[in-house]
Amino acid sequence: MTTSGEINKIARKVVTPVLKDLGFSNFRGRTAWRYLEDSVWVFNMRSVGNHFSQCAGFPPSSLTAWLGIFYLNFPYGPAADTDDDGLLIPKESICHVRYGLENIVDQMDIRALEMQSQERIRKDIWWVDSEGSNAEEVLSDIGRSIREYGIPLLLKPYNTREVQLERRS
């Protein structure tokens, strides 16, 4: 069975360079932050865990990945934590704009046939087999999804601070 530490080690080798290339500069575990003039972009990746695994049929080490935008001085939503250096480190879950990433690689042939069909076709979860033999491929696909799917979404005109303020007023 693959461990969380093994997944993290591969993620540092495969996903972290993609995030650095895109301007992310602060890294803690499976979370990274990119600091912009009016916002902080947040990347977070997490395992589905045992409970979801038992309910849906994915191995517990299977992954989801998210990107978000936390706007500075935004009147709506909770405040973000800071690190020891005073940098904002908002959780992805409190971001004002959030996107779940989707897998690009087709995993249908490796997903369990006994899974319910609506779970089996999900594109927001990467199947990581219990031995972790496909972990590097999965993490490479997460990097590709960040670059080809997630970042273009964050850059959409409707995700500017001004538009989000207007939408909420």
Instruction: Indicate the number of domains in the chain.
Output: 1
* H-type alpha helices, 44-116: 49-56
18-46 pLDDT per residue, tens: 999 999 999 999 999 999 999 999 999 99
Q: Which three-class secondary structure state does DSSP give residue 104?
A: coil
- 13 or 127: which leads in pLDDT: 13
- The one-character DSSP state at 149 is I
* Predicted confidence (pLDDT) at residue 169 exceeds the cutoff of 90: no
Contact 152, 27 (CB under 8 A): no
Domain that holds residue 21: 4-168
Q: Which three-class secondary structure state does DSSP give residue 156?
A: coil
Kind and range of the H or E run holding 12:
helix 4-21
Give pTM, 2 decimals. 0.92
Residue type, 17: P
101-147 pLDDT per residue, tens: 999 998 888 887 767 777 878 899 998 998 889 999 999 999 999 99
- Provide the pLDDT for residue 121: 81
Rounded-to-5 percentages of helix, strand, coil across the chain: 40, 20, 45
